[in-house]
Structures are given as C-alpha cells and as structure tokens.
Amino acid sequence: MTAGSDNRTEKIQDTDSHDKPPGLPEVAVRPAYREPAYRRYLVGEVFSVLGDQIWFVALAWKATELTSPATAGLILSISAIPRLILMLFGGMLADRYDARKLMVSSDLLRAAVMFAAAGIALWQQGIFLLVLVSLVFGIVDAVFLPAAGSVRPRLLHSQQLSSGAALRELGMRGAVTLGSPLGGLLMTIGGIPVACAANGITFLISMAAVRTLRPRPLKSPESTEGSESYFVSLRSGLRYMARHRVLRGLLVTTFLVNFAFVGPMNIGLALLAKSQNWGAGGIGNMLAGFGIGAAVGAAVMVRSRRPYRAGLLIAAACMMEGVGLSGLALASDLWIAVAAAIFIGLASAPLGIAASALMQEETADEFRGRVSSVNALASLGITPLAMAITGGAAEWFGTRITLAASAQLAFVAGILCLALPDLRRR
C-alpha cells in the first residue's frame, strides 16, 4: 500500500458524518476491509485472542493432569476472575492514557510472561507455576480488550463501523475456533514449554501489528480526567452509560440475550446430546452448524454500511435466537437440532455486529474504554454464572425446559428492544 493510500485513509478516518453541516451530501467511503490501518488492527487483535485461547487450553489441560477436577476449576478461575474484575480498571486506563500504547504494552508483557513460563516449565511444572502465571497473565490481559475497544472505532469512518464489526466477528470466531485445537496440538507435541513459547510468539506478532496504528485523536477529552481518581473516573463512566438512553437500553438488551445464549451453547448442547444419546459427534455437529450459520451471517454483513435500522435488526435477531433455542428445546432428531443451531448462528452474527456498531456510534470518544470494558464484562463475565445456572436448572427441571426458558429470555430481550423508542429508532 502506498503512502498516498495511507494519507487518504487518515483523511477518511478524520471525517465523521455526525459533524457535517445539514444538507451536505454523505461522504463516499470504502468498505472497512480496504483500510490498511484497520487490517493491521485486526491482525493484532486476532493474534491476541489466538494466544489467549492457546493459553486457556494449555492451562486447563495441565491443571487437570496435575490435580483434581475441583482444584483444576479453582486454578482456571484464578486466571478468569482477576481478568474480568480488572477489565473495568482497564477501561479507565484506556480512557486516561494512549490506548494503542496500552495494547502494545499488554502484548509485550504477556509475551514476556509466556516466555518466562516456558523457561521455568523446562525444569519445574507444578501447581504453583500455573497459579502464578494465571494470576499475572489475567492481570495483564485485562488491559487489552478495553484498549482495543477504544482504538477500533477511531480507525474508521462512522459508515464503516458495521462492516468493520463484521470483519472483526469473522476474525474473532476464526481465532477461537483455531486456538483451542492448536493449544491441544501444542500440548501434545511438547507440553507447557512449547505451548507457552508459541503463545509468546502470537503476542509478539500482535504487538508488531498494532504498534504502527495511528487512531483518530480523541475529540473532547475530559478536562478533569488527569486529576480524577480511578474510582471517580469509573463512577463518571457508569453515570454516563446510565444516563445515555440508547447505550443503557442496548447494554441491558445485549446482557439479556447473551445470558439466554451463553448457557445453552456452552453446556446446554452437551446436556441435550447426552439426554438424546447423540454422543460427542452430536455435540460436534451442532457446534459446526452454529459456526456455519454465524460465518454466513457475518459474511453477509461485511459489505454493509449501516443503511439498516440497527435497533430493529437487534430486536429481530433476538427473536430469531429465541426461535432457534425453542427449536433446540423441541428437537427430537439430531438434524432438527443442527438446523436450530444453524438458525441461532445466522441470528447471532448480525446481532453482535449491529450491537457493536451501534455502541461505537453512540459512545463519545472520551468514554470508549469504559463502555468497552463494561460491555466485555457483561458478555464475558456472565459466562461462568450462566453456565452454572443452566446446569443447575437442567438438573432440577430438565434440559428441554431449561432451553425453553432460555428461549423466552431471548424473546424478552427482543421485546425490550422494541419497547425502548430511543433504541428502536436507531
């Protein structure tokens, strides 16, 4: 890509349709995948998530090998819980300091942690090493996602946010899909030392990709940001989200539909396959169907420039997920369950893309890190709770009733979205 092309990209990035005087024609913009800076950003985030997945698989494998299932679960939580809690502080850091530098620093520190763990594991592999590395890694990892959420929309024109979110959706799904089996393969080849060393390389690649990014400068940084304490900054961010009628409704809607989705797709499919004697192959077929549906849904959205009504699309996608979950609850044959999983995937990708694009459009630059951290906490943080509730409900009331209840929650999310005028009209 030539220097002239990069200059053109920067001019596009500095232009926001919200700032044009009324009556002027819309600026023609190219799809997000044609922006060199955004492609570099995607490479960085995809390799960062790939590294996370490799580590989580390696950690789970080694923890279950060294100790009991209960202790292994505790070790896994040591990595996950600090990461989730500290995401809120990561969001404040992203709003207070250079978010790009925070991404680079997080990549560099995670690479250093992984290389150090690989070296130590050559002569000592014990529970203490896993706990220590998990704790440090979780703390450092908590900074990356909020910082990335602050940088991402500042690389694109407002009309490119939807196609950019679609590209990211494809990249994230690819990283998660590839990272888990890759982590297992690396553990098979050389155990923790090889997995950690390879993991460190992914973070170095991520760092190399994001270090040259030049996101659009913040438009109106808070005058008191530098003197605010972190807790005051957090409170101001939460107050901003609570008072913003679109963001408030969007966060509640996505929380409800994520809660309805996470439990069934993480543990519900396994419970359904067990109850119907479909075996591990049945779980794999349903997950493959979901992945195919999600990939198709994301691919359709890649070229979109946000001419659609995001609120109506989100509501429709919530309803579609409810229909798909109902199909799982009623499925008596595997092919019906696979078809329902495909339908859920078709709905989940546009839902995530539209919600992400709308959230980026509505968030002021100076609050992007905090909004991104709360959104990540609401989507990632509910996973352990949703899985526990789904498993407990399935034991008490049965798998089908639990899946049906999850479907009703998705319908509630869609109805709520339609009932909020500020969100419905976006």
Catalogue all structural domains in the chain, each as residue range(s) with its CATH number. Answer: 30-210 (1.20.1250.20), 230-424 (1.20.1250.20)
Handedness of CA 69, 72, 76, 81 (dihedral sign): positive
Dmax over CA atoms of the chain, in Å, equals: 70
Q: How many residues does the chain have?
A: 426
* Residue 18, pLDDT score: 42
Q: CA nearest 66: which of 119, 131, 115?
A: 131
Q: What is d(CA 45, CA 51) in angstroms, rounded to the nearest whole number?
A: 10
Please identify every stretch of the chain with a pLDDT value under 50, giving residue numbers as ranges. Answer: 1-26, 221-225, 307
The residue assigned the tokens 């993480």 is 266
* Residue 319, pLDDT score: 97
Percent of residues in the chain assigned helix, strand, coil, to nearest 5: 85, 0, 15
* Residue 237, pLDDT score: 86
pTM across the whole model: 0.73
Q: How many helices (H) and strands (E) does the chain have?
A: 17, 0
* Residue 407, pLDDT score: 96
* Residue 228, pLDDT score: 65
Task: Compute the half-sphere exposure of residue 17: CA atoms within 13 Å on the CB side of its CA.
Answer: 16
Q: What is the pLDDT of residues 300-324, one digit of tens each?
A: 877 666 546 888 999 999 999 999 9
Burial of 291 (0-12, 13-18, 19+ CB in 10 A): middle
* Residue 331, pLDDT score: 93
